[in-house]
Protein backbone atom coordinates (compact mmCIF):
# COMPACT_ATOMS: atom_id res chain seq x y z
CA UNK A 1 0.00 0.00 0.00
CA UNK A 2 1.11 3.52 -0.67
CA UNK A 3 1.02 6.35 1.87
CA UNK A 4 -2.20 7.67 0.29
CA UNK A 5 -3.78 4.20 0.43
CA UNK A 6 -2.95 3.97 4.13
CA UNK A 7 -4.60 7.36 4.78
CA UNK A 8 -7.70 6.23 2.87
CA UNK A 9 -7.93 2.98 4.84
CA UNK A 10 -7.48 4.69 8.20
CA UNK A 11 -10.10 7.29 7.26
CA UNK A 12 -12.62 4.60 6.34
CA UNK A 13 -12.06 2.56 9.50
CA UNK A 14 -11.85 5.55 11.86
CA UNK A 15 -14.90 7.17 10.26
CA UNK A 16 -17.04 4.04 10.50
CA UNK A 17 -15.97 3.26 14.09
CA UNK A 18 -16.40 6.89 15.17
CA UNK A 19 -19.93 7.03 13.83
CA UNK A 20 -20.63 3.54 15.17
CA UNK A 21 -19.90 4.73 18.71
CA UNK A 22 -22.58 7.40 18.33
CA UNK A 23 -25.06 5.10 16.61
CA UNK A 24 -24.36 2.28 19.07
CA UNK A 25 -25.27 4.40 22.07
CA UNK A 26 -28.46 5.50 20.36
CA UNK A 27 -29.40 1.92 19.43
CA UNK A 28 -28.81 0.77 23.00
CA UNK A 29 -31.40 3.29 24.15
CA UNK A 30 -33.82 2.03 21.50
CA UNK A 31 -33.36 -1.59 22.58
CA UNK A 32 -34.27 -0.95 26.23
CA UNK A 33 -36.70 1.92 25.53
CA UNK A 34 -34.63 4.54 27.33
CA UNK A 35 -35.14 8.19 26.52
CA UNK A 36 -33.44 9.36 23.33
CA UNK A 37 -32.49 12.87 22.26
CA UNK A 38 -35.67 14.73 21.20
CA UNK A 39 -37.73 11.96 22.82
CA UNK A 40 -40.96 13.98 23.09
CA UNK A 41 -40.90 15.05 19.45
CA UNK A 42 -39.94 11.59 18.21
CA UNK A 43 -42.55 9.99 20.46
CA UNK A 44 -45.36 12.12 19.02
CA UNK A 45 -44.37 11.23 15.46
CA UNK A 46 -44.14 7.53 16.28
CA UNK A 47 -47.45 7.54 18.17
CA UNK A 48 -49.13 8.92 15.08
CA UNK A 49 -47.91 5.97 13.05
CA UNK A 50 -48.94 3.50 15.75
CA UNK A 51 -52.47 4.87 15.63
CA UNK A 52 -52.59 4.60 11.84
CA UNK A 53 -51.55 0.95 11.83
CA UNK A 54 -53.47 0.10 15.01
CA UNK A 55 -50.54 -1.00 17.19
CA UNK A 56 -50.38 -1.00 20.97
CA UNK A 57 -46.81 0.08 21.61
CA UNK A 58 -46.81 -1.47 25.08
CA UNK A 59 -47.72 -4.97 23.87
CA UNK A 60 -44.88 -7.49 24.13
CA UNK A 61 -44.52 -10.32 21.62
CA UNK A 62 -43.31 -13.89 21.94
CA UNK A 63 -40.67 -14.97 19.45
CA UNK A 64 -43.34 -16.62 17.29
CA UNK A 65 -45.47 -13.46 17.25
CA UNK A 66 -42.42 -11.31 16.51
CA UNK A 67 -41.30 -13.52 13.64
CA UNK A 68 -44.82 -13.76 12.21
CA UNK A 69 -45.20 -9.97 12.30
CA UNK A 70 -41.87 -9.61 10.49
CA UNK A 71 -42.85 -12.11 7.79
CA UNK A 72 -46.31 -10.59 7.25
CA UNK A 73 -44.84 -7.10 6.93
CA UNK A 74 -42.22 -8.30 4.49
CA UNK A 75 -44.73 -10.24 2.39
CA UNK A 76 -46.94 -7.15 2.06
CA UNK A 77 -43.94 -5.02 1.10
CA UNK A 78 -42.76 -7.58 -1.47
CA UNK A 79 -46.25 -7.79 -2.96
CA UNK A 80 -46.32 -4.01 -3.25
CA UNK A 81 -43.02 -3.97 -5.18
CA UNK A 82 -44.02 -6.91 -7.35
CA UNK A 83 -47.21 -5.14 -8.38
CA UNK A 84 -45.25 -2.02 -9.33
CA UNK A 85 -42.77 -4.02 -11.41
CA UNK A 86 -45.46 -5.97 -13.26
CA UNK A 87 -47.52 -2.89 -14.15
CA UNK A 88 -44.92 -0.12 -14.35
CA UNK A 89 -46.06 0.60 -17.91
CA UNK A 90 -49.27 2.04 -16.41
CA UNK A 91 -47.52 4.09 -13.73
CA UNK A 92 -46.09 7.64 -13.96
CA UNK A 93 -42.49 8.87 -14.22
CA UNK A 94 -40.93 7.47 -17.41
CA UNK A 95 -43.07 4.31 -17.67
CA UNK A 96 -41.45 1.22 -19.17
CA UNK A 97 -42.76 -2.26 -20.04
CA UNK A 98 -43.61 -4.41 -17.05
CA UNK A 99 -41.24 -7.18 -16.05
CA UNK A 100 -41.98 -10.84 -16.60
CA UNK A 101 -43.56 -12.72 -13.70
CA UNK A 102 -40.40 -14.65 -12.85
CA UNK A 103 -38.16 -11.56 -12.97
CA UNK A 104 -40.65 -9.49 -10.94
CA UNK A 105 -40.84 -12.24 -8.30
CA UNK A 106 -37.06 -12.56 -8.22
CA UNK A 107 -36.60 -8.80 -7.83
CA UNK A 108 -39.25 -8.51 -5.11
CA UNK A 109 -37.74 -11.47 -3.22
CA UNK A 110 -34.29 -9.99 -3.71
CA UNK A 111 -35.06 -6.57 -2.28
CA UNK A 112 -37.28 -7.67 0.60
CA UNK A 113 -34.60 -10.11 1.80
CA UNK A 114 -31.92 -7.40 1.82
CA UNK A 115 -30.14 -9.20 -1.06
CA UNK A 116 -30.71 -6.89 -4.05
CA UNK A 117 -29.53 -9.45 -6.59
CA UNK A 118 -30.16 -7.86 -9.98
CA UNK A 119 -30.99 -9.92 -13.07
CA UNK A 120 -32.01 -6.72 -14.84
CA UNK A 121 -30.44 -3.40 -15.84
CA UNK A 122 -32.11 -0.75 -13.69
CA UNK A 123 -31.59 2.29 -15.90
CA UNK A 124 -32.87 0.42 -18.97
CA UNK A 125 -35.68 -1.79 -17.64
CA UNK A 126 -37.12 0.08 -14.65
CA UNK A 127 -38.99 3.37 -14.55
CA UNK A 128 -38.12 6.15 -12.15
CA UNK A 129 -41.32 5.35 -10.26
CA UNK A 130 -40.27 1.71 -9.85
CA UNK A 131 -36.83 2.70 -8.60
CA UNK A 132 -37.78 5.67 -6.40
CA UNK A 133 -41.03 4.33 -4.92
CA UNK A 134 -40.74 0.56 -5.23
CA UNK A 135 -37.09 -0.31 -4.72
CA UNK A 136 -36.23 2.46 -2.26
CA UNK A 137 -39.25 1.59 -0.10
CA UNK A 138 -37.99 -1.98 0.28
CA UNK A 139 -34.47 -0.69 0.87
CA UNK A 140 -35.85 0.71 4.14
CA UNK A 141 -38.10 -2.26 4.95
CA UNK A 142 -35.37 -4.93 4.60
CA UNK A 143 -32.64 -3.46 6.85
CA UNK A 144 -35.23 -2.26 9.39
CA UNK A 145 -36.49 -5.85 9.64
CA UNK A 146 -32.96 -7.16 10.19
CA UNK A 147 -32.10 -4.54 12.80
CA UNK A 148 -35.41 -5.10 14.59
CA UNK A 149 -34.66 -8.84 14.75
CA UNK A 150 -31.30 -8.05 16.30
CA UNK A 151 -32.93 -5.77 18.87
CA UNK A 152 -35.26 -8.61 19.86
CA UNK A 153 -32.35 -11.07 19.97
CA UNK A 154 -30.26 -8.87 22.26
CA UNK A 155 -33.22 -8.25 24.60
CA UNK A 156 -33.32 -11.98 25.35
CA UNK A 157 -30.01 -11.71 27.23
CA UNK A 158 -30.77 -8.61 29.27
CA UNK A 159 -32.99 -9.96 32.01
CA UNK A 160 -35.57 -12.66 32.60
CA UNK A 161 -39.07 -12.06 31.25
CA UNK A 162 -37.98 -8.75 29.74
CA UNK A 163 -39.67 -9.81 26.51
CA UNK A 164 -38.59 -9.59 22.90
CA UNK A 165 -40.47 -6.35 22.34
CA UNK A 166 -42.95 -5.45 19.62
CA UNK A 167 -41.87 -5.82 16.00
CA UNK A 168 -44.10 -3.04 14.70
CA UNK A 169 -42.77 -0.62 17.30
CA UNK A 170 -39.14 -1.51 16.60
CA UNK A 171 -39.69 -1.43 12.84
CA UNK A 172 -41.34 2.00 12.95
CA UNK A 173 -38.74 3.53 15.28
CA UNK A 174 -35.81 2.19 13.27
CA UNK A 175 -37.10 3.62 10.00
CA UNK A 176 -38.31 6.97 11.32
CA UNK A 177 -35.54 7.81 13.79
CA UNK A 178 -32.49 5.99 12.42
CA UNK A 179 -32.52 5.00 8.75
CA UNK A 180 -34.59 7.85 7.33
CA UNK A 181 -32.71 10.83 8.85
CA UNK A 182 -29.26 9.30 8.29
CA UNK A 183 -30.13 8.37 4.69
CA UNK A 184 -31.47 11.88 4.08
CA UNK A 185 -28.29 13.55 5.33
CA UNK A 186 -26.16 11.03 3.43
CA UNK A 187 -28.08 11.76 0.23
CA UNK A 188 -27.36 15.48 0.65
CA UNK A 189 -23.67 14.77 1.09
CA UNK A 190 -23.62 12.50 -1.95
CA UNK A 191 -25.36 15.24 -3.89
CA UNK A 192 -22.53 17.62 -2.96
CA UNK A 193 -20.01 15.00 -4.07
CA UNK A 194 -21.55 14.81 -7.53
CA UNK A 195 -24.32 12.20 -7.38
CA UNK A 196 -27.41 13.45 -9.27
CA UNK A 197 -30.91 13.73 -7.80
CA UNK A 198 -33.69 14.61 -10.25
CA UNK A 199 -37.03 13.34 -11.53
CA UNK A 200 -35.88 13.81 -15.12
CA UNK A 201 -35.24 10.46 -16.78
CA UNK A 202 -32.49 11.74 -19.09
CA UNK A 203 -30.42 14.74 -20.13
CA UNK A 204 -28.99 15.64 -23.52
CA UNK A 205 -25.43 16.91 -23.69
CA UNK A 206 -23.09 17.92 -26.47
CA UNK A 207 -20.16 15.73 -27.46
CA UNK A 208 -16.64 16.66 -28.47
CA UNK A 209 -17.51 15.70 -32.02
CA UNK A 210 -20.26 18.32 -32.12
CA UNK A 211 -23.18 15.93 -31.81
CA UNK A 212 -25.64 15.22 -28.99
CA UNK A 213 -25.80 12.36 -26.52
CA UNK A 214 -28.71 11.36 -24.29
CA UNK A 215 -27.67 10.21 -20.82
CA UNK A 216 -29.94 8.35 -18.40
CA UNK A 217 -30.35 10.08 -15.06
CA UNK A 218 -32.76 10.10 -12.13
CA UNK A 219 -33.10 10.29 -8.32
CA UNK A 220 -29.80 8.51 -7.74
CA UNK A 221 -28.53 10.13 -4.52
CA UNK A 222 -31.58 9.13 -2.46
CA UNK A 223 -31.29 5.52 -3.64
CA UNK A 224 -27.52 5.41 -3.23
CA UNK A 225 -27.57 6.57 0.40
CA UNK A 226 -29.96 3.89 1.68
CA UNK A 227 -28.39 1.37 -0.68
CA UNK A 228 -25.12 1.51 1.25
CA UNK A 229 -26.46 2.39 4.70
CA UNK A 230 -29.01 -0.44 4.67
CA UNK A 231 -26.74 -3.25 3.39
CA UNK A 232 -28.84 -3.25 0.23
CA UNK A 233 -26.45 -2.93 -2.71
CA UNK A 234 -28.87 -2.73 -5.64
CA UNK A 235 -27.77 0.01 -8.00
CA UNK A 236 -29.77 2.53 -10.01
CA UNK A 237 -27.59 1.75 -13.02
CA UNK A 238 -26.51 -1.59 -14.41
CA UNK A 239 -22.87 -0.75 -13.63
CA UNK A 240 -23.82 -0.24 -9.95
CA UNK A 241 -21.22 1.75 -7.98
CA UNK A 242 -18.78 1.63 -10.89
CA UNK A 243 -21.06 4.16 -12.64
CA UNK A 244 -19.82 7.73 -12.18
CA UNK A 245 -23.34 8.91 -11.27
CA UNK A 246 -23.48 6.48 -8.34
CA UNK A 247 -19.88 6.84 -7.18
CA UNK A 248 -18.22 9.86 -8.81
CA UNK A 249 -14.80 10.02 -7.17
CA UNK A 250 -12.44 8.87 -4.44
CA UNK A 251 -14.24 10.86 -1.73
CA UNK A 252 -17.61 9.33 -2.54
CA UNK A 253 -15.95 5.90 -2.63
CA UNK A 254 -14.63 6.28 0.93
CA UNK A 255 -17.90 7.76 2.19
CA UNK A 256 -19.88 4.85 0.77
CA UNK A 257 -17.50 2.40 2.46
CA UNK A 258 -18.20 4.16 5.78
CA UNK A 259 -21.95 3.94 5.16
CA UNK A 260 -21.70 0.20 4.58
CA UNK A 261 -19.72 -0.45 7.76
CA UNK A 262 -21.31 1.92 10.27
CA UNK A 263 -24.49 0.07 11.33
CA UNK A 264 -22.92 -3.43 11.45
CA UNK A 265 -20.16 -2.00 13.68
CA UNK A 266 -22.72 -0.10 15.79
CA UNK A 267 -24.52 -3.19 17.07
CA UNK A 268 -21.55 -4.66 19.02
CA UNK A 269 -21.19 -1.25 20.65
CA UNK A 270 -24.89 -1.23 21.57
CA UNK A 271 -24.38 -4.75 22.93
CA UNK A 272 -21.42 -3.46 24.98
CA UNK A 273 -23.53 -0.71 26.56
CA UNK A 274 -26.21 -3.19 27.62
CA UNK A 275 -24.35 -6.39 28.45
CA UNK A 276 -20.85 -5.37 29.39
CA UNK A 277 -18.21 -3.31 27.68
CA UNK A 278 -15.76 -6.19 27.52
CA UNK A 279 -18.23 -8.51 25.80
CA UNK A 280 -19.23 -6.02 23.15
CA UNK A 281 -15.73 -4.74 22.44
CA UNK A 282 -14.49 -8.34 22.13
CA UNK A 283 -17.08 -9.05 19.45
CA UNK A 284 -16.14 -5.84 17.64
CA UNK A 285 -12.45 -6.78 17.75
CA UNK A 286 -13.20 -10.22 16.29
CA UNK A 287 -15.14 -8.55 13.48
CA UNK A 288 -12.29 -6.11 12.82
CA UNK A 289 -9.66 -8.86 12.81
CA UNK A 290 -11.73 -10.93 10.38
CA UNK A 291 -12.41 -7.95 8.16
CA UNK A 292 -8.70 -7.12 8.22
CA UNK A 293 -7.92 -10.67 7.07
CA UNK A 294 -10.41 -10.34 4.21
CA UNK A 295 -8.91 -7.04 3.14
CA UNK A 296 -5.35 -8.34 3.42
CA UNK A 297 -6.21 -11.28 1.18
CA UNK A 298 -7.56 -8.89 -1.42
CA UNK A 299 -4.57 -6.58 -1.26
CA UNK A 300 -1.88 -9.27 -1.50
CA UNK A 301 -2.56 -9.53 -5.23
CA UNK A 302 -3.37 -6.48 -7.36
CA UNK A 303 -6.68 -6.53 -9.20
CA UNK A 304 -7.18 -5.45 -12.80
CA UNK A 305 -6.23 -3.59 -14.82
CA UNK A 306 -9.17 -4.77 -16.93
CA UNK A 307 -12.55 -4.33 -15.26
CA UNK A 308 -11.36 -1.58 -12.87
CA UNK A 309 -12.41 2.04 -12.82
CA UNK A 310 -9.30 4.20 -13.16
CA UNK A 311 -10.68 6.75 -10.69
CA UNK A 312 -10.47 4.11 -7.90
CA UNK A 313 -7.58 1.90 -8.93
CA UNK A 314 -6.75 -1.48 -7.40
CA UNK A 315 -6.73 -0.33 -3.76
CA UNK A 316 -9.92 1.74 -3.91
CA UNK A 317 -11.72 -1.06 -5.74
CA UNK A 318 -10.53 -3.74 -3.31
CA UNK A 319 -11.41 -1.67 -0.22
CA UNK A 320 -14.90 -1.02 -1.54
CA UNK A 321 -15.53 -4.60 -2.68
CA UNK A 322 -14.26 -6.30 0.47
CA UNK A 323 -16.32 -3.88 2.59
CA UNK A 324 -19.35 -4.60 0.44
CA UNK A 325 -18.95 -8.38 0.63
CA UNK A 326 -18.08 -8.35 4.36
CA UNK A 327 -21.30 -6.46 5.14
CA UNK A 328 -23.37 -8.50 2.65
CA UNK A 329 -24.20 -5.27 0.86
CA UNK A 330 -23.25 -6.58 -2.56
CA UNK A 331 -22.63 -3.20 -4.18
CA UNK A 332 -19.81 -3.25 -6.75
CA UNK A 333 -17.53 -0.52 -8.02
CA UNK A 334 -15.68 -2.98 -10.26
CA UNK A 335 -16.55 -5.98 -12.42
CA UNK A 336 -16.02 -9.19 -10.43
CA UNK A 337 -14.10 -10.56 -13.40
CA UNK A 338 -11.58 -7.75 -12.85
CA UNK A 339 -10.88 -8.71 -9.25
CA UNK A 340 -7.91 -10.91 -8.37
CA UNK A 341 -8.54 -14.51 -7.33
CA UNK A 342 -7.36 -13.67 -3.79
CA UNK A 343 -9.89 -10.84 -3.55
CA UNK A 344 -12.67 -13.19 -4.68
CA UNK A 345 -11.65 -15.77 -2.06
CA UNK A 346 -11.73 -13.01 0.55
CA UNK A 347 -15.22 -12.12 -0.62
CA UNK A 348 -16.30 -15.74 -0.29
CA UNK A 349 -15.00 -15.71 3.29
CA UNK A 350 -17.24 -12.76 4.11
CA UNK A 351 -20.27 -14.41 2.53
CA UNK A 352 -19.59 -17.78 4.19
CA UNK A 353 -19.22 -16.34 7.71
CA UNK A 354 -21.87 -13.58 7.33
CA UNK A 355 -20.71 -11.96 10.56
CA UNK A 356 -17.52 -10.00 9.80
CA UNK A 357 -19.39 -7.77 10.38
CA UNK A 358 -22.32 -9.05 8.27
CA UNK A 359 -25.46 -7.26 7.20
CA UNK A 360 -27.42 -4.75 9.29
CA UNK A 361 -28.76 -6.69 12.27
CA UNK A 362 -28.34 -10.24 11.00
CA UNK A 363 -24.54 -10.05 11.11
CA UNK A 364 -24.51 -9.41 14.85
CA UNK A 365 -27.05 -12.20 15.43
CA UNK A 366 -24.93 -14.64 13.44
CA UNK A 367 -21.85 -13.74 15.49
CA UNK A 368 -23.73 -14.60 18.69
CA UNK A 369 -24.61 -17.96 17.12
CA UNK A 370 -20.88 -18.51 16.61
CA UNK A 371 -20.36 -17.62 20.28
CA UNK A 372 -22.94 -20.22 21.37
CA UNK A 373 -21.28 -22.89 19.20
CA UNK A 374 -17.84 -21.89 20.51
CA UNK A 375 -18.95 -22.11 24.14
CA UNK A 376 -20.50 -25.52 23.47
CA UNK A 377 -17.30 -26.86 21.88
CA UNK A 378 -15.05 -25.36 24.57
CA UNK A 379 -17.39 -26.75 27.22
CA UNK A 380 -16.93 -30.23 25.76
CA UNK A 381 -13.16 -29.77 25.82
CA UNK A 382 -13.02 -28.79 29.50
CA UNK A 383 -15.85 -31.02 30.68
CA UNK A 384 -18.24 -28.22 31.68
CA UNK A 385 -21.86 -27.53 30.84
CA UNK A 386 -21.78 -24.55 28.45
CA UNK A 387 -22.96 -21.29 30.00
CA UNK A 388 -23.59 -17.90 28.44
CA UNK A 389 -24.53 -14.67 30.22
CA UNK A 390 -25.25 -16.57 33.48
CA UNK A 391 -27.57 -18.98 31.65
CA UNK A 392 -27.13 -22.60 30.69
CA UNK A 393 -26.97 -23.42 27.00
CA UNK A 394 -29.23 -26.46 26.63
CA UNK A 395 -29.14 -29.09 23.84
CA UNK A 396 -32.04 -27.42 22.01
CA UNK A 397 -30.10 -24.14 21.77
CA UNK A 398 -27.11 -25.98 20.30
CA UNK A 399 -29.26 -27.84 17.78
CA UNK A 400 -30.92 -24.63 16.64
CA UNK A 401 -27.56 -22.86 16.40
CA UNK A 402 -26.18 -25.77 14.36
CA UNK A 403 -29.18 -25.56 12.02
CA UNK A 404 -28.55 -21.84 11.54
CA UNK A 405 -24.96 -22.62 10.59
CA UNK A 406 -25.75 -25.60 8.33
CA UNK A 407 -28.61 -24.05 6.37
CA UNK A 408 -26.16 -21.82 4.51
CA UNK A 409 -23.95 -24.52 2.92
CA UNK A 410 -27.01 -26.61 2.07
CA UNK A 411 -28.56 -23.67 0.22
CA UNK A 412 -25.34 -23.29 -1.78
CA UNK A 413 -24.54 -26.91 -2.59
CA UNK A 414 -28.00 -28.29 -3.46
CA UNK A 415 -29.01 -25.67 -6.06
CA UNK A 416 -25.48 -25.69 -7.55
CA UNK A 417 -25.83 -29.44 -8.15
CA UNK A 418 -29.34 -28.96 -9.59
CA UNK A 419 -28.10 -26.22 -11.92
CA UNK A 420 -25.58 -28.63 -13.43
CA UNK A 421 -27.69 -31.79 -13.45
CA UNK A 422 -30.53 -29.91 -15.17
CA UNK A 423 -28.08 -28.43 -17.74
CA UNK A 424 -29.15 -24.89 -16.90
CA UNK A 425 -25.59 -23.97 -15.90
CA UNK A 426 -24.21 -25.38 -19.14
CA UNK A 427 -26.90 -23.65 -21.22
CA UNK A 428 -25.98 -20.28 -19.65
CA UNK A 429 -22.20 -20.61 -19.42
CA UNK A 430 -21.45 -23.15 -22.13
CA UNK A 431 -19.44 -26.36 -22.09
CA UNK A 432 -17.13 -27.79 -21.03
CA UNK A 433 -17.41 -26.87 -17.38
CA UNK A 434 -14.25 -25.17 -16.12
CA UNK A 435 -13.23 -23.93 -12.66
CA UNK A 436 -14.06 -20.40 -13.86
CA UNK A 437 -17.63 -21.29 -14.93
CA UNK A 438 -18.16 -23.42 -11.81
CA UNK A 439 -17.04 -20.43 -9.75
CA UNK A 440 -19.72 -18.27 -11.38
CA UNK A 441 -22.49 -20.73 -10.48
CA UNK A 442 -21.10 -21.26 -6.97
CA UNK A 443 -20.86 -17.51 -6.47
CA UNK A 444 -24.45 -16.99 -7.68
CA UNK A 445 -25.92 -19.28 -5.04
CA UNK A 446 -23.46 -18.23 -2.33
CA UNK A 447 -24.48 -14.62 -2.88
CA UNK A 448 -28.18 -15.52 -2.92
CA UNK A 449 -27.98 -17.66 0.23
CA UNK A 450 -25.93 -15.03 2.08
CA UNK A 451 -28.39 -12.29 0.99
CA UNK A 452 -25.42 -10.51 -0.57
CA UNK A 453 -26.54 -9.79 -4.13
CA UNK A 454 -23.29 -9.40 -6.06
CA UNK A 455 -22.95 -11.80 -8.99
CA UNK A 456 -21.14 -12.69 -12.18
CA UNK A 457 -24.14 -13.65 -14.29
CA UNK A 458 -26.11 -10.37 -14.33
CA UNK A 459 -28.76 -10.26 -17.05
CA UNK A 460 -27.61 -13.61 -18.47
CA UNK A 461 -29.36 -15.13 -15.43
CA UNK A 462 -32.68 -13.57 -16.46
CA UNK A 463 -34.25 -16.94 -17.25
CA UNK A 464 -37.08 -18.71 -15.42
CA UNK A 465 -34.68 -21.26 -13.85
CA UNK A 466 -32.23 -18.73 -12.41
CA UNK A 467 -34.95 -16.27 -11.39
CA UNK A 468 -37.10 -18.81 -9.55
CA UNK A 469 -34.22 -20.80 -8.01
CA UNK A 470 -32.28 -17.82 -6.68
CA UNK A 471 -35.50 -16.19 -5.43
CA UNK A 472 -36.36 -19.17 -3.23
CA UNK A 473 -32.76 -19.50 -2.04
CA UNK A 474 -32.83 -15.82 -1.00
CA UNK A 475 -36.12 -16.27 0.84
CA UNK A 476 -35.05 -19.41 2.72
CA UNK A 477 -31.58 -17.97 3.37
CA UNK A 478 -33.13 -14.91 4.98
CA UNK A 479 -36.10 -16.10 6.99
CA UNK A 480 -35.08 -19.59 8.14
CA UNK A 481 -32.03 -18.33 10.10
CA UNK A 482 -33.93 -15.34 11.52
CA UNK A 483 -36.75 -17.63 12.67
CA UNK A 484 -34.33 -20.07 14.30
CA UNK A 485 -32.35 -17.28 15.98
CA UNK A 486 -35.53 -15.72 17.37
CA UNK A 487 -36.50 -19.17 18.68
CA UNK A 488 -33.19 -19.27 20.56
CA UNK A 489 -33.92 -15.78 21.88
CA UNK A 490 -37.36 -16.86 23.04
CA UNK A 491 -35.77 -19.71 24.96
CA UNK A 492 -33.20 -17.48 26.68
CA UNK A 493 -35.68 -14.80 27.71
CA UNK A 494 -37.48 -17.24 30.06
CA UNK A 495 -34.36 -18.82 31.52
CA UNK A 496 -33.09 -18.39 35.08
CA UNK A 497 -29.98 -16.27 35.59
CA UNK A 498 -27.43 -17.64 38.03
CA UNK A 499 -23.88 -16.59 38.76
CA UNK A 500 -21.93 -19.35 37.06
CA UNK A 501 -18.50 -19.66 35.50
CA UNK A 502 -18.57 -19.80 31.70
CA UNK A 503 -16.35 -22.42 29.99
CA UNK A 504 -14.39 -19.41 28.77
CA UNK A 505 -14.99 -15.83 29.81
CA UNK A 506 -16.77 -14.10 26.91
CA UNK A 507 -14.54 -11.05 26.95
CA UNK A 508 -10.86 -10.28 26.77
CA UNK A 509 -7.94 -11.31 24.54
CA UNK A 510 -8.31 -15.07 25.16
CA UNK A 511 -11.95 -15.05 24.08
CA UNK A 512 -11.13 -12.93 21.04
CA UNK A 513 -8.49 -15.44 20.00
CA UNK A 514 -10.63 -18.53 20.63
CA UNK A 515 -13.71 -17.10 18.90
CA UNK A 516 -11.68 -15.96 15.88
CA UNK A 517 -10.10 -19.39 15.52
CA UNK A 518 -13.41 -21.23 15.94
CA UNK A 519 -15.14 -19.05 13.34
CA UNK A 520 -12.48 -19.78 10.76
CA UNK A 521 -12.16 -23.49 11.63
CA UNK A 522 -15.92 -24.05 11.33
CA UNK A 523 -16.02 -22.08 8.10
CA UNK A 524 -13.00 -23.84 6.58
CA UNK A 525 -14.25 -27.33 7.45
CA UNK A 526 -17.63 -26.58 5.89
CA UNK A 527 -16.77 -24.57 2.81
CA UNK A 528 -13.22 -25.54 1.79
CA UNK A 529 -14.41 -28.20 -0.72
CA UNK A 530 -16.46 -25.52 -2.51
CA UNK A 531 -13.44 -23.26 -2.85
CA UNK A 532 -11.18 -26.12 -3.96
CA UNK A 533 -13.45 -26.83 -6.93
CA UNK A 534 -13.80 -23.17 -7.91
CA UNK A 535 -11.61 -20.20 -6.92
CA UNK A 536 -8.60 -22.28 -5.78
CA UNK A 537 -8.50 -24.02 -9.16
CA UNK A 538 -8.74 -20.90 -11.31
Cβ within 8 Å of residue 119, ≥6 positions away: 103, 106, 107, 457, 458, 459, 461, 462, 466, 467, 470
Per-residue confidence (pLDDT) for residue 292, from 0 to 100? 94
Phi, psi for residue 215 in degrees, rounded to 5: -115, 130
Phi/psi-derived region of residue 455, left when phi > 0, alpha when psi is between -120 and 50, beta in every other case: beta
User: Nearest 10 degrees: CA dihedral of 149, 262, 474, 30?
Assistant: 10
Contact 459, 120 (CB under 8 A): yes
Per-residue confidence (pLDDT) for residue 211, from 0 to 100? 82
Going by C-alpha positions, the residue among 500, 504, 509 that lies closest to residue 278 is 509
Per residue in 24-50, pLDDT tens?
Answer: 999 999 999 898 888 888 888 898 889
Per-residue confidence (pLDDT) for residue 301, from 0 to 100? 85
Neighbours of 318 (CB within 10 A): 31
pTM of the model: 0.95
Per-residue confidence (pLDDT) for residue 261, from 0 to 100? 97
Per-residue confidence (pLDDT) for residue 30, from 0 to 100? 95
Contact 160, 131 (CB under 8 A): no
Per-residue confidence (pLDDT) for residue 536, from 0 to 100? 65
Residue 88 DSSP class: G
Contact 195, 245 (CB under 8 A): yes
Per-residue confidence (pLDDT) for residue 500, from 0 to 100? 63
Per-residue confidence (pLDDT) for residue 209, from 0 to 100? 79
Cβ within 8 Å of residue 131, ≥6 positions away: 122, 218, 219, 223, 236
Distance CA 429, CA 452 (A): 22
Contact 268, 290 (CB under 8 A): no
Distance CA 469, CA 308 (A): 30
Per-residue confidence (pLDDT) for residue 392, from 0 to 100? 86
Per-residue confidence (pLDDT) for residue 537, from 0 to 100? 62
Per residue in 501-522, pLDDT tens?
Answer: 667 888 899 999 999 999 999 9
- pLDDT means per 10 residues, the chain with 538 residues, are 90 96 96 88 88 88 96 97 96 92 97 96 94 96 97 90 88 95 97 94 81 89 97 94 95 97 97 93 96 92 82 92 95 91 91 94 96 91 80 91 94 94 92 86 95 93 96 97 96 79 83 93 84 66
Amino acid sequence: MTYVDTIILLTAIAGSIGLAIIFGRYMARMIVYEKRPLEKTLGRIEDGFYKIIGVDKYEQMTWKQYFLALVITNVIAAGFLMGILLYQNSLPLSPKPGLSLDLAFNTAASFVTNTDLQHYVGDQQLSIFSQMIGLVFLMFVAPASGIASCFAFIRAFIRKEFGLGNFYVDFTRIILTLLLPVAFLSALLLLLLGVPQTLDSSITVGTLQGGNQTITIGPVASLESIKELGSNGGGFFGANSAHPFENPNGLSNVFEVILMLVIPFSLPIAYAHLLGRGRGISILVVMLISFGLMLAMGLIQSSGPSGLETRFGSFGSTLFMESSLATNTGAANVALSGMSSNAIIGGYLGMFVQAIPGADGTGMMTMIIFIILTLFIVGLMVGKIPEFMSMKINPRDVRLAAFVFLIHPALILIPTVIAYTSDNAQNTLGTPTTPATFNQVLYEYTSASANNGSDYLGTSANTPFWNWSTAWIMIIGRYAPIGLMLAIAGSFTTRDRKEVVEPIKTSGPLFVGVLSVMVFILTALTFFPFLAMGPFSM
